Structure formats: C-alpha cells, structure tokens
C-alpha cells in the first residue's frame, strides 16, 4: 500500500511539474503578446493573433488534463460526476484539436508571408490576414462538432456498469461504442489530423528551403564579415523545424497509443504516457516561440529588407 501511495505521489509531482512549466510558459507568452497588442500597436502584426489563439488552446489543454490528473494522484478519487467527466474530457479534446489546427494555420501564414513578390502565390499576402478570424471560428465549430461523441460516451467510473469499456483517464471511463456509430467520429478526426499535419509539414519544408536559399545569398554577399552571427532567418528556420517536429512527434505518438489502448483494454500503464505526450507540446511550445520571438514574429523586417536589396 505504501508503494502504491509513493508511486501516486511521484506521478502527482511529475504532472505538477509539467503543468507548472507549461502554464508559466504560456502565461509569459500570452503576457508578451497582450502587451504588444495593447501598448505597442506600431509593432503588432496579424500573426500575433495566431500566437494568442495558440497559447489559449495550449492553456485549455493543460488545464483540463493536468489539473484533474494532479487532483487524482494526490489522493482525491471520484471527484467528478458524469457531467464533470463529460465537460473535462470534451474541453481537453477540443483544446488539443484547436492546438493542432492553429499550429497548422501558423505554418501556412508564415509560408505566405515570406513568399517572394515574384511568386505565383504572392497575391495571397495582402489577403491572408483577413482569413485569420474566420479560420478561428471554423476551428472552434469543427472541433466542437467532432468531439460531441465524447459527451455521449464518457461517464464517471463509479457510474459505469458495462463490461466493454475503454479506459480514457484515471477519473473518467469511455464506454465502448458500436463500431458503426463511432466510424463517422473517427473518420472526421483522422481526416482533420491528416489534413492539418500534411499542410504543416509541406509549408514548413517550403519555408526551410526558402530561408536556406536566402541565407546562402546573404552569406555570399557578406562573406567578408569578421563576426558572423545567426541571422533572424536562421533562428526562424530552427524554430519552425523544432515546432513542427515536436508537434508531429508528440501528436502522432499519442494518437498511436490511444488507438492501441482502444483495441487492448486494461492497459492502465499507458494512459500516463499518453497524457504526458498530450501535454508535452503545450508545455514546450511557448518556450520555442519566446526564444526566437524578438519582434513578436519569426520573420522580422530585416528579412524583407534583405530580400528587397537583392
């Protein structure tokens, strides 16, 4: 019994640490973005709204996954009824979906912004900013509709009497649905995941290629410099690669574990790993953005000036 209590305490401390780091990072990023929008209006950019929406989605994911998990591992059992389980798991899934969609939008937005003026896609530059808020609305509607199935299936563990159960979280049980009924839900979710991640990867590859081409051009012109420094373009490339790589790794690994758990019941050790992966990107994301976010945007005016001079 003491070993069990000790293990629960260790897991509780672990999730407290992850939640604390992620919450502090997202709060700091949100403060920086809010300060830019309210008090530095001359430097604000449309991409700041995407950062804010991504930060809010990450905070939403951390709150509705980390806090209940911490309460559970510090000894409070069965603290949610059916309505509480439905609300917590639904909002957690919606927040995670919003994080996916917003990261994809961020990648596409940056790709359009750095597109050369002589490109065939250059006509999107003055129009892309007008699509930000309609995209946010679409993301909310889409994810709220996709995860309605969660509300229908999730119950508190002590209220579940069915034998066919899928262990979702330590404090909530997802009762196994009929395959025919769950197919539209899985189809919509998989379609959204594949579309968003594909767009994210393709646009990131395009930006990496464009930024490295620009970097070689600048190095050729300024190769006599005695004190070479990492340019904003190089920092942006590293950030984009890290952001996309982290999201793809954590999201798909968690998705694979979730699918595996759905087919192999009573694997109670995997839900902790799955939750850790689900909360890893929201915890790491703000620090990646803050590190190379000198002017609230990955690609600052220096890039545009360098491009126009050549």
Average pLDDT (198-212) is 85
pLDDT band with cut points at 50, 70 and 90 for residue 303? very low
HSE of 109 in the Cβ direction (CA atoms, 13 Å)? 23
Longest dimension (CA), the chain: 75
Phi, psi of 231 (to 5 degrees): -75, 165
- Radius of gyration of the chain measured on its C-alpha atoms: 22
Beta strands in the chain (DSSP E): 154-155, 165-169, 172-175
In the block, tokens 């999107």 appear at: 124
Question: What is the mean predicted confidence (pLDDT) over 284-291?
Answer: 85
CATH number at residue 158: 1.20.1070.10
88 touches 52 (CB < 8 A): no
- Cα–Cα distance between 61 and 181 in angstroms, integer? 26
Q: How confident is the model at residue 163 (pLDDT cuts 50, 70, 90)?
A: very low
Residue 209 predicted with pLDDT over 80 = yes
Higher pLDDT, 295 or 70: 70
pLDDT cut 90: percent of the chain above it: 17
**Each residue's pLDDT tens digit, 6-39:** 566 777 787 888 888 999 999 998 888 888 788 7
Which of 259, 275, 116 lies closest to 182, judged by CA? 259
Q: Which of 95, 94, 75, 91 is nearest to 83 (CA)?
A: 91
Q: Is 228 exposed, middle or buried (0-12, 13-18, 19+ CB in 10 A)?
A: exposed
Region 264-268: mean pLDDT is 59
- Cα separations in angstroms, 214 against 31, 299, 309: 32, 12, 12
SS3 category, 24: helix
The pLDDT of residue 279: 86
pLDDT tens sequence across 49-92: 998 999 999 999 998 888 887 777 776 666 677 788 888 889 99
pLDDT category at 307 given cuts 50, 70, 90 is very low
| Spatial CA neighbour of 307 closest among 233, 225, 224 | 233
The fraction of the chain above a pLDDT of 70, given in percent, is 69
User: In Å, what is the CA distance from 290 to each residue of 28, 234, 280?
Assistant: 9, 15, 16
How many contiguous H segments (helices) and E segments (strands) does the chain have?
Answer: 10, 3
Give the chain's domain count. 1
Tokens of 143: 């994810």
pLDDT digit string, tens, across residues 80-114: 777 888 888 899 999 999 999 999 998 888 888 87
Q: Under a CB-based contact definition with an 8 Å cutoff, are residues 292 and 272 in contact?
A: no
DSSP, res 267 = -
Pairing of strands 154-155, 172-175: antiparallel
Rounded distance, CA 136 to CA 105, Å? 9
Question: What is the predicted pLDDT for the residue at 69?
Answer: 77
User: According to the model, what pLDDT value does residue 84 have?
Assistant: 80
Residue 41 has pLDDT above 80, yes or no: no
pLDDT of res. 94: 94
pLDDT at position 294 is 55
* Domain hosting residue 146, numbered range: 2-308
């Amino acid at each position: 019994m003491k070993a069990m209590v000790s293990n629960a305490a260790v897991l509780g401390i672990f999730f407290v640490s992850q939640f604390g780091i992620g919450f502090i990072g997202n709060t700091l990023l949100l403060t920086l973005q809010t300060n830019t929008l309210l008090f530095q209006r001359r430097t604000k950019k449309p991409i700041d709204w995407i950062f804010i929406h991504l930060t809010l989605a990450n905070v939403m994911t951390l709150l509705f996954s980390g806090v209940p998990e911490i309460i559970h591992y510090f000894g409070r059992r069965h603290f949610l009824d059916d309505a509480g389980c439905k609300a917590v798991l639904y909002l957690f899934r919606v927040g995670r979906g919003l994080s996916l969609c917003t990261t994809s939008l961020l990648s596409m937005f940056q790709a359009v912004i750095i597109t050369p003026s002589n490109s065939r896609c250059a006509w999107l530059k003055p129009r892309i900013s007008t699509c930000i808020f309609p995209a946010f609305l679409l993301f909310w509607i889409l994810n709220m509709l996709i995860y309605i199935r969660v509300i229908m299936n999730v119950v508190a563990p002590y209220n579940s009497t069915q034998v066919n159960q899928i262990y979702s979280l330590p404090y909530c049980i997802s009762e196994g649905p009929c395959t025919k009924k769950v197919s539209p839900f899985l189809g919509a979710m998989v379609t959204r995941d594949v579309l968003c991640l594909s767009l994210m990867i393709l646009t990131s590859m395009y930006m990496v290629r464009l930024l490295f081409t620009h970097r070689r051009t600048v190095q050729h012109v300024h190769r006599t410099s005695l004190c070479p420094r990492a340019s904003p373009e190089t920092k942006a490339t590293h950030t984009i690669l890290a952001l996309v790589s982290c999201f793809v790794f954590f999201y798909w690994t968690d998705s694979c574990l979730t699918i595996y758990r759905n087919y192999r019941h009573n694997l109670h050790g995997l839900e902790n790993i799955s939750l850790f992966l689900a909360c890893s990107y929201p915890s790491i994301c703000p620090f990646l953005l803050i590190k190379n976010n000198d002017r609230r945007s990955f690609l600052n005016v220096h890039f545009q000036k360098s491009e126009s001079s050549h």
